[in-house]
Structure 1
Amino acid sequence: MPKPLRGILVKHRELLKFAVVGGTTFLVDNGVWYLLKLTVLETKPTTAKAIAIIVAVIVSYILNSEWSFRTRGGRQRHHEAALFFVISGVAIAVNLVPLYVSRYVLDLEVPHVSFLVQEIADFTSGSVIGMLLAMVFRFWGFKKWVFPDELGHRRRDNDAVVRKLPQR
């Protein structure tokens, strides 16, 4: 890596890791959503999206706590998880609003529009606009409340102590 680029990447490593986790959960979310939406929940796209987001949030918690924000936090696991899921619950509502508006306020659904227009509107509102809004909210909420930096120093210090202990 060129030195200037390396400095930027190191400075924003949490954001980059968060983005990788986001890309992974984007695939999980959309895979589950379309599986449900095109099969058992064909008439309930918002419900299918909510279930898909919940599955993606569980994957997100594991990846973010163990990788993206590993050096932050420091709370007991159950407290950290509770905060994570509260923030994620609000983010689910943020994510669903554009899809709900698209389907039920703007009537971008069959028979008012073609199936292709409906699917493009669903994807744009639910998987692009909604997900971007929820991602911004989650990143801010996770850094501020779930994995705050002031608690992370303790976790980093404990990790350093553990690494320095003699191995048996």
Structure 2
Amino acid sequence: MKREAAGFLIAGGVAYAADLTLFVLLRPHLDPLSAKALAFLAGCTVAYLGNALGTYRRRSVHLREYGAFFGVNLAGAAVQLACLGASHYGLGLTSPLADTLSGLGVGMVLATCLRFWGTRTLVFGSAGSRG
């Protein structure tokens, strides 16, 4: 389980770097939502490949697995947005620091837990119990 969690976090870290880099590169040329959507898609692809070929040691990648992985990542993004929305609009904590802590702090932790569980059980099935 430790090796699996470490591999998941490494793949996620590389994917986050790809997402951030692509967003920064695209943002001067595209509106923020289009830039973020493309960066998110690229980050999901990097994370899927890292998990499929690394963490869960698949010899090949599959479109069905990628679709499930993308869905799990969308659910994680929804968790982050929900944390941000609850803090900003529900609790009235509207400072940039509060937004950062709720979206990228609490939201990221909860989303990462959801993504790990979803990737392990819904995407790669029983592969997570090996190793």
TM-score, reference length from structure 2:
0.72
CA contact (8 A) 1:30 1:127 kept: no
Partner Cα separation in structure 2 for residue 103 and residue 138 of structure 1: 23
The sequence identity of aligned pairs, in percent, is 32
Aligned mate of 1:108, from 93, 102, 122: 93
Shift of 1:98: 1.0
What is the Cα deviation at residue 23 of structure 1?
2.4
Whether 1:94 aligns to 2:84 is no
Quickly say closer, same or farther: Cα 1:151–1:48, change in 2 above 3 A: closer
Flag the 1:140–1:75 CA change in 2: closer, same or farther, 3 A: farther
- After superposition, the C-alpha distances for 1:93-139 in whole angstroms (9 at most, x for unaligned) are 11211112233223333xxxxxxxx3222221111111111111111
Q: Partner letter of residue 120 of structure 1?
A: L
Structure 2 equivalent of residue 81 of structure 1 = 66
Q: Are residue 23 (structure 1) and residue 10 (structure 2) matched?
A: no
> How big is the shift at 1:59?
2.2
Unpaired runs of 5+ residues, structure 1, are 1-10, 110-117, 154-168
Computing the radius of gyration from Cα coordinates, the structure with the larger value is 1
Q: Given the alignment, which residue of 102, 116, 119 partners 2:96?
A: 119
**1:143 alignment partner AA:** R
Q: Equivalents in 2 of 1:119, 1:132: separation in Å?
A: 18
Please give the alpha-carbon distance, in whole angstroms, between the structure 2 residues aligned to 1:61 and 1:102.
Answer: 30
**What is the Cα deviation at residue 27 of structure 1?**
3.6
Q: TM-score, normalised by structure 1?
A: 0.58
Question: Which of 27, 45, 68 pairs up with 1:58?
Answer: 45
Query: Runs of 5+ in structure 2 lacking a partner?
Result: none
Q: Which one of the candidate residues 109, 117, 125 is aligned to 1:140?
A: 117
Matched AA of 1:18: F
Match runs of 1:2-41 below 5 Å: 12-29=2-19
Equivalent residue pairs, number = 130
